[in-house]
Chains A and B, each alone.
Chain A
Amino acid sequence: TYADFTPQASFDIKKCDVHKLEEGPPLQAVLTREEGLQYYRTMQTMRRMELKSDQLYKQKIIRGFCHLYDGQEACAVGIEAGINLTDHLITAYRAHGYTLTRGGTVREIMAELTGRRGGIAKGKGGSMHMYTKHFYGGNGIVGAQVPLGAGVALACKYLGKNELCVCLYGDGAANQGQIFETYNMASLWKLPCIFICENNKYGMGTSVERAAASTDYFKRGDFIPGLRVDGMDVLCVREATKFAAEHCRSGKGPILMELQTYR
């Protein structure tokens, strides 16, 4: 069988654009068989879960808002592959994918979406408010999760456990004032925070060119070093996340990653 042939393979990955960095992540990634199968399984499950949610939403079995992650699976899976479950993560409302990678089960997620007691928040949270261990949601207010994420990073530094916080936001949120306030404090206090902008080309319904004077989101951190990463390649995302995590854990302070993706 193919399994006997080799347990791993090496792939060339796209070079990342860098901002205020000497060098970027490596240009080659090694993928083992187990990892490959695990990433594939998770991404496929995520895709199926999101498409099913879409159906249920159209049938009005899921009410209110339902922000789906299908198309962006490589981001969530790649990021998780680059950190540990003991690290922390927070994102905005397009959170189902992260709920899954952070330890939630499909059953809990779908029960939550359909407002059932067996849901991850007992039906009280809904699509945008799901939580697991070291995963702080699921946040409805655009941009509000970014200072929260830096606060989690502050706690990581304070408690001295060598953990970091991955703090995600979208291209729409990237223009929020509170994010710039957060960049300032995270940089001043050297918080172990990886800021990740998931640029899926649209902020709600508005395209990035119409919303942002500068669409180089990885440079918007100014004094914070940045990377622009191909968000459709799980290995690219993984290597970039490992690179960023190394940067944070070595005490250099925050770093910013822009994942170019699509939904």
Chain B
Amino acid sequence: MYMYYGITMVFFTVFWVCHIYIYINNMTLFIFYHVSYQNVTPFLCIIIALHSVEYHVLPCDICIINCILLLQVTVRDALNQAMDEELERDERVFLLGEEVAQYDGAYKVSRGLWKKYGDKRIIDTPITEMGFAGIAVGAAMAGLRPICEFMTFNFSMQAIDQVINSAAKTYYMSAGRQSVPIVFRGPNGASAGVAAQHSQCFAAWYGHCPGLKVVSPWSAEDARGLLKSAIRDDNPVVFLENELMYGVPFEMSEESQSKDFLIPIGKAKIERQGNHITVVSHSRMVSLCLDAAAVLAKEGIECEVINMRTIRPLDAEAIETSVMKTNHLITVEGGWPQFGVGGEILARIMEGPAFNYLDAPAVRVTGVDIPMPYAKILEDNSVPQIKDIIFSVKKTLNA
């Protein structure tokens, strides 16, 4: 339903903008109008312009049709759709967590699901993480496929024993006899103004443990495909979302709207091709890397931006292939520097074939090594900013 709101909004914006443009009769300007936020499609606009000239039709008509085909979906809606489809597909899937049912989700990610599926499948829990995470794991052991939502991963620390000792290790300890097909999901990492106890990134902590799969989507497509894969996976999966990304819209292709659209866990994606330096990131930081890459492109530096998508198992091969092409590497993450995701990537590169291709030491761009402060100016400077990424790239390239 919210998809249609999105389309309508885009339709009206485009409609009016198109009319103004036609009035001005300036095709050149029109070509550079950006239809989407993240994935710039100037060529699409040229096609629109050319088609409209050819068919003597207002460009806005073509634009509308293209906008309907090229849906703008927020990460929140992508997650919601993914859960809805998986709940429908498999009777054993159910969702539990704080506020997921009657409140429609603390961040509205589970909006409408309780109304559709009822008390049996969408369960509101008391504020007792250790208890309900354990209950979720037990249900998974007995044959169900729970999605256990933590309001934020900070609260998963209360339940971390159940995630690690009861979920992650069981398949191995039982020599394959007892599987735990559970998904732990929720927002991870820094938010806005929530201060020290509500801003920690858990990618490194969970990424450390054998027996877990750890996934960190960035775009709406990532969120949809990876959540579906996670729910269908028979292993415990930790699904790290990001609160600041929930409202961000992304273009989603028609293929990605299919009910069986799955993104394989353990494979990274190259979001932007480049040959001067490899920039590896995950979750919200990918946005910043792409923005930094756009700025650097003006100066002639072409960054290859890799969206990790999965923390564990790490797609070292994709990073190595890229480094062997570009000869330079930086990693960008929101979490703390010590013993983190960046550290692991650098270690793997050192241990692998790509080390011999490095022309400069690989560097990590991370959050500052302090508990997250509250004041905006301090908070803004405690996570990587575009300027930090640009600075690291230039330093690595000696430019």
Contacts and interface: CB of A to CB of B under 8 A. Distances in A.
B165 A148 contact: no
Range, interface on chain A: 35 or more
Contacts, number: 115
B134 A151 contact: yes
Interface string A134-158: 0011011100101111111111101
B298 interface: no
Interface residues of B, number: 32
Interface string A153-185: 111101100000100000000000110011011
B142 A178 contact: no
A178 B130 contact: yes
A192 to B, nearest CB: 12
Contact of A148 (B123, B137, B144): B137
A147 B313 CA distance: 29
Given A136-B178, A144-B162, A184-B126, A152 B142 contact: yes
Given A141-B165, A147-B130, A158 B94 contact: yes
Given A125-B173, A131-B178, A185 B138 contact: no
A147 to B, nearest CB: 2
Interface in B120-135: 120, 123, 125-126, 128, 130-135
A124 interface: yes
A147 B172 contact: no
B323 to A, nearest CB: 36
B112 to A, nearest CB: 21
Interface string B59-99: 00000000000000000000000000000000000100000
Given A124-B175, A137-B174, A151 B126 contact: no
B93 to A, nearest CB: 11
A90 interface: yes
Say whether chain B's binding surface is mostly helix, strand, loop, or mixed. helix
Interface in A116-137: 121-125, 129, 131, 136-137
Of B126, B131, B170, B172, most buried by chain A (CB within 10 Å of CB) is B131
Contact of A181 (B128, B161, B166): B128
Given A141-B165, A158-B120, A148 B175 contact: no
A88 B143 CA distance: 12
A188 interface: yes
A117 to B, nearest CB: 9
Interface of B: 94, 120, 123, 125-126, 128, 130-144, 161-162, 165-166, 170, 172-175, 177-178
15 contacts: A88-B142, A121-B173, A121-B177, A125-B174, A131-B174, A136-B142, A141-B161, A148-B137, A149-B138, A151-B142, A152-B141, A181-B132, A182-B134, A184-B131, A189-B123
Closest 10 interchain pairs by CB? Answer: A151-B138, A147-B134, A181-B131, A155-B142, A148-B138, A122-B175, A181-B128, A151-B135, A151-B139, A129-B173
Given A152-B142, A178-B130, A188-B126, 20 more contacts: A121-B175, A121-B177, A124-B175, A125-B173, A131-B178, A144-B166, A147-B131, A147-B137, A148-B135, A148-B138, A150-B131, A150-B134, A151-B137, A153-B138, A154-B135, A154-B139, A158-B144, A182-B134, A185-B128, A185-B135
